Structure 1
């Protein structure tokens, strides 16, 4: 297949480009912005997105080929520019508003009032910024929670597939494991906590469930919004069973859901993370989002008294409400 037909097919596969070509190539050669663009697309996984959705590998190969080989002719250069533009537009849209419309997965979801990003305008503004990478990253949700998820995603991916999760933990000796009890899973539990950073690397497996191992379990429980009492019951055992690979996938999904959520609707926001049982209050000052308050909250049961999901302007607050 010729270079021209290859890029024509790629252009059709991505989407129609914006009006007015972006400055990706100069005289048939990739400009610095073109290399920055393919680097951004190649790193899409750091945002919980899929580089293949943006043809990251093929675009990187095409840009490298254009840099090393003969200068591209007008038609081939235009096709490459169109493909880069379309890929960056799609990436910006996904980064800001999510890869999919949540209504497509049969969720009871009301589309927020905030419109989806205008990818054409956003790309033009990003190209005009001093740093294309910084401007593109600014399209991601700017709340601290999203940045924390991005950091945790990288951490869990770096763990790979540790041997500590090769086999499941054995059943507990009773309904729960408490201090001073013996358990066949103590060594494997210690290994998992070491991998996750809840115990030091030089920890030694104890004969009984001792204080040192309990402290590691407490740290794990606190990070996972569990009762940090050091007692291993069903909830803690289930959380310990999730491998780093599976946890990374959960984080990717959490980042996607956060992109669906219109958090930056005003200078002050109160957000309840229902699965975490935590309320957070944010304030926006000079474009920076800061956490002002965090507290535990009570939420309903999923099957009979489910907490409703909504996004509204707050008009009043009722203190000490009746519980009936």
Structure 2
């Protein structure tokens, strides 16, 4: 017997089983043809839209076509009851629905209220009518189908959201009816549903974090008191009335262990507390300097419920991704301002990154990196040409020479800038290209990494190294600048023996560009994640720089609509 059967249910099952046996003996001939419950199930599913059963008034079916197929193949006989009683599998599915919040989903989407009402009635009276058993059966099957779709594909389709999401979602279907039949046959409802979750290890770690925050929310319901202080950052050695609250909150978030404090020093910002602040700042993508400024206080004001919401929207984003296991790939997290080179699930390189500004957002997509360009040239984009370069040339005739720029026609021929009447040419009418040669002031730096795509986005170096130390690094026009271009070039060329470390460094300092083809194509995945749990089981929280979390959360918290399939399409 499944462990889902409580002692109470087990005893009840034994006692009421005798009554059930008598009923079976009395009506055996009728049940051998079509049971009353089967008749009621068929009656429920064959109604048209104008004949909605009152049992569905607050719990409309989402996967009716799946249900008709499922039940017709079993002659409409019930799947979740036996001997006119709910089975242990029914109890197990109800418990899984109750825990749907651990996956960031809504238990209400899976008929929890109606299922609870019918189950409670059974426990109170020991009896459900054929119609009630049929209703319970259909609701549980529909819940399984919807839950399975959501775990596999996600509840919300990314096409319905603002912003570009152009990573291929899962193409395969979750085969929910196959899963449902196997779950019932093997009595392994939990295993079959759980097999549809994303296979990424980070997803399971995020579920564990969701459980942790749910428990903290229950244990500490008063963690919503906001912390505030002066605009001046709080430094080590200073005293402030909010220090005890900061200490308490860092202990709650497990960035700080409990330690002894002299009674007179409770408001003292000491070095032990500062170590906890640094840990917290690192997890939140803040400048890890130990000073408690406005950004750190804003992050400290997150409560368990807020963090659970962040986990929910990012678990949904993970459900959109294909489950393909990649041996080697480059992962850019836009909201994390980071780039990682991953091989066989090991991170070989982590680099800070700069991404697109809020009005020139870096898109979410994937492509294959096929070549890199050492000492690249930079062709001035039209907007920068119009707003910056042309006005500068009109003011200073030596501007192009100072910036190491050339004027070219569209055939690539060099044009003498002195032959151009700059006063009469505007941006839209400019018949030439302006290209900056390789050098220390070139915005692309010493190397660019190319993965051809429709957005003209690529990864590149930058001469402005100081920008990588900023907390807010949404500074580019859409491309991704990285702090460790040399190290990335090393990894990409490690299967080409002629490209020694010395040769790579030399190629990055030439006066003409050099294109190098890779021996293998490296998948590049550009994601937007504002929260995740790392391999050390530490939650990492990032600012929602493109303001995308609220829209997704709102849609995820919206109940499923009547006559919708298990996935919002």
**Shorter-chain TM-score category?**
0.7 to 0.9
Between the two proteins, the alignment pairs up a number of residues equal to: 315
1:309 to 364, 368, 391: 364
1:187 to 238, 244, 247: 244
Query: Which protein is richer in strand relative to its size?
Result: 2
Could you list the runs of 5+ residues in structure 2 that have no partner in the other structure? 1-43, 45-52, 72-77, 375-445, 449-460, 463-569
Give, in angstroms, the shift of residue 28 of structure 1. Answer: 2.5
Residue 503 of structure 2 aligns with which residue? none
Pair 1:295-2:350 in alignment: yes
Pair 1:277-2:348 in alignment: no
Distance, in Å, in 1 between the alignment partners of 2:163 and 2:179 is: 28
Residue 469 of structure 2 aligns with which residue? none
SS at match of 2:331: strand
User: Is 2:151–2:196's contact at 8 Å kept on the other side of the alignment?
Assistant: yes
User: Is 1:277–1:299's contact at 8 Å kept on the other side of the alignment?
Assistant: yes
Q: How does 1:179-218 map to 2 (within 5 A)?
A: 179-204=236-261, 206-218=266-278
SS at match of 2:350: strand
Query: Which protein is richer in helix relative to its size?
Result: 1
Change (3 A) 1:321 1:203: farther
SS at match of 2:168: coil
User: Is 2:61–2:142's contact at 8 Å kept on the other side of the alignment?
Assistant: no
User: Is 2:241–2:267's contact at 8 Å kept on the other side of the alignment?
Assistant: no
Question: In the TM superposition, what whole-angstrom CA distance separates every residue of 1:13-34 from its partner, at most 9, and x where no partner exists?
Answer: 4441431237312243222221
User: Is 1:182–1:209's contact at 8 Å kept on the other side of the alignment?
Assistant: yes
Question: In the TM superposition, what whole-angstrom CA distance separates every residue of 1:178-208 from its partner, at most 9, and x where no partner exists?
Answer: 2223334212211211222222234545443
Pair 1:321-2:447 in alignment: yes
Distance, in Å, in 2 between the alignment partners of 1:92 and 1:10 is: 21
Tell me the TM-score normalized by structure 2: 0.49
Change (3 A) 1:206 1:8: closer
Give, in angstroms, the shift of residue 303 of structure 1. Answer: 2.3
- Between 1 and 2, higher relative CO (CA 8 Å, sep ≥ 6) is seen in 2
Tell me the TM-score normalized by structure 1: 0.82
User: Is 1:25–1:34's contact at 8 Å kept on the other side of the alignment?
Assistant: yes
Distance, in Å, in 1 between the alignment partners of 2:275 and 2:235 is: 12
Residue 113 of structure 2 aligns with which residue? 57
RMSD: 3.2
User: Is 1:218–1:229's contact at 8 Å kept on the other side of the alignment?
Assistant: yes
Pair 1:255-2:305 in alignment: no
User: Is 1:14–1:83's contact at 8 Å kept on the other side of the alignment?
Assistant: no
Residue 287 of structure 1 aligns with which residue? none
